[in-house]
Structure 1
Amino acid sequence: MPTIRVLIADDQTLVRTGFRVILEAEDDIEVVAEADTGAEAIRQAQLTRPDVILMDIRMPELDGLAATERILRQEDPPTIVVLTTFDHQEYVYRALHAGAAGFLLKDAPSSRLIAAVRAAATGDSLIEPSITRRLVERFAAPPPAAGPPAELAALTERERDVLRLIAGGLSNAEIAAELVVAETTVKTHVARILAKLNVRDRVQAVVIAYRTGFVAR
């Protein structure tokens, strides 16, 4: 298995050190650089070409949102997982539109951090259900009186099962284990769900699931 190269961008030294210790204890993960400002994150991303960036939102000089937008405009950009807290709902919403692949609470357990990095490195994403629920509560419109949109009705029973598990914060590998199927099968289901719901990514699919009442808040 190839080594996952990670850049940690956070203005708190203790946070960066803690994340580095956790990640480098894994055989398949290497922290190639750290950054304490958004501008430094952009520079290190260009110098070290990481696979995954853990990006804090609030940093001096240039915040994590602006850094995310600039990095993702580059050719063959890395995957960016945004570090957040419950106090940053508006920032998370902006990060979603900037193209961030996932969101991770800063106080998440170490197993969640490792899972998020591995999921991001494979093109998957790991969505914290608590973050998604708060986004829905803050930004999503209430369900229409006529019921859920027709796109949800087009999902097969297995696709609905997969969507529920995505909304529960599970990665493709975790869904595969839960449903006792191959991970490639899950990836196919996810691709079909996104196509049928006409959404760009898993986060948008989960927002629809919550907004329509398909998954309870």
Structure 2
Amino acid sequence: MTEGTISVMVVDDHPIWRDGVARDLSENGFDVRATAADGPAAVRIARTVRPSVVLMDLNLGTTSGVEATREITTALPETKVLVLSASGEHSDVLEAVKAGASGYLMKSASVVELVDAVRRTAAGDPVFTAGLAGLVLGEYRRMADAPEGGTEPPRLTERETDVLRFVAKGLTARQIAERLVLSHRTVENHVQSTLRKLQLHNRVELARYAIEHGLDED
């Protein structure tokens, strides 16, 4: 997927910030389809323009970016939400992820970091500002501490497990291909095969599964 094909919507209640982010993305080749100033407008407009990625602020005045995230990801499963927030509070990060956000980026990020984060989010990769990824990993590991019902996990090949381990570490398919000396297509095939075996839907869920099973650890 090239940047020119990635459509985005920017949601923020501060017009100067909102317009600035939209301008930065447009100048870097993204298709900025819409902006919104509050949660209800974001949900309504997203249903119409169906962007690939929604950049979502959490503090939208009287409305909640978390609830807007939940509604958008429920109504539009193909649309990814990347939170762009000034808050690094652990509770905010975890609530956003639980609501369906694919990633969480601090507003202190540079334009280069923002562009890379939007591109990776559109590709299905979980993206987090440094320091926040560990928080999310720890939470999913804690949630997985209590085993369910003793069902036997699906059997993955050694190569599928290798790929899954790198997915958990946040590497892109191309980076994984370089690490394992495989073609990009072969890595994608392993990812799709693993998704089918685990009955998961996307790379974000795949990363969560890997984290829950400790595959992000060396």
Aligning the two structures, in what range does the TM-score lie when normalised by the shorter sequence?
Answer: 0.7 to 0.9
Q: CA deviation at 1:10?
A: 1.8
Structure 2, unmatched stretches of 5+, are none
TM-score normalized by the length of structure 2: 0.74
Aligned residue for 2:194?
193
SS at match of 2:63: coil
The CA deviation string for residues 94-128 of structure 1, in whole angstroms up to 9 with x for no partner, is 33343333333333343332233223334x22332
Structure 2 residue corresponding to 1:11, chosen from 13, 23, 33: 13
Task: Give the distance between the partners of 1:184 and 1:177, measured in 2 at CA.
Answer: 12
Q: Aligned-residue CA RMSD in angstroms?
A: 3.5
TM-score, with structure 1 as normaliser: 0.74
The whole-number CA distance in structure 2 between the counterparts of 1:19 and 1:35 is: 12
Aligned positions of 1:102-121 closer than 5 A: 102-121=103-122
Query: Helix, strand or coil: the match of 2:13?
Result: coil
Aligned pair in 2 of structure 1 residues 155, 111: CA closer, same or farther (>3 Å)? farther
Shift of 1:198: 5.1
Q: Does 1:20 align with 2:19?
A: no
- Report the equivalent of 1:126: 126
Contact 2:24/2:111 (8 A) holds in 1:
yes
Give runs of aligned pairs for residues 1-217 of structure 1, distance below 5 A. Answer: 3-27=5-29, 29-74=30-75, 78-84=79-85, 87-122=88-123, 124-128=124-128, 130-138=131-139, 140-141=141-142, 151=153, 154-197=155-198, 199-216=200-217
Query: What is the rounded CA distance, in whole Å, between the counterparts of 1:108 and 1:193 in structure 2?
Result: 33
In structure 1, stretches of 5+ residues that fail to align are: none
Q: Deviation of residue 134 (structure 1)?
A: 0.4
Task: State the 1:5 CA deviation.
Answer: 1.9
What is the identity, as a one-letter code, of the residue corresponding to 2:106?
A: L
For the 8 Å contact 2:166–2:216, the answer to whether it is kept is no
Deviation at residue 8 of structure 1 after TM alignment: 0.7
DSSP-derived class of the 1:141 partner: helix
Instruction: Please give the alpha-carbon distance, in whole angstroms, between the structure 1 residues aligned to 2:169 and 2:90.
Output: 19
Structure 1 residues 41-50 or 61-70, which shifts more? 41-50
For 1:67 and 1:26, the matched residues in 2 are separated by 26
Per-residue deviation, residues 183-205 of structure 1 (Å, max 9, x unmatched): 33222222333444555543444
> Aligned letter for 1:79?
K
- Identity score, percent: 32
Q: d(CA) in 2 for partners of 1:213 and 1:103?
A: 22
Q: Deviations over 1:145-188 (max 9, x none)?
A: x9xx9648x43333233223223322234333444444332222
Q: Residue type matched to 2:14 in 1?
A: Q
Of 92-101 and 196-205, more deviation after overlay is shown by 196-205
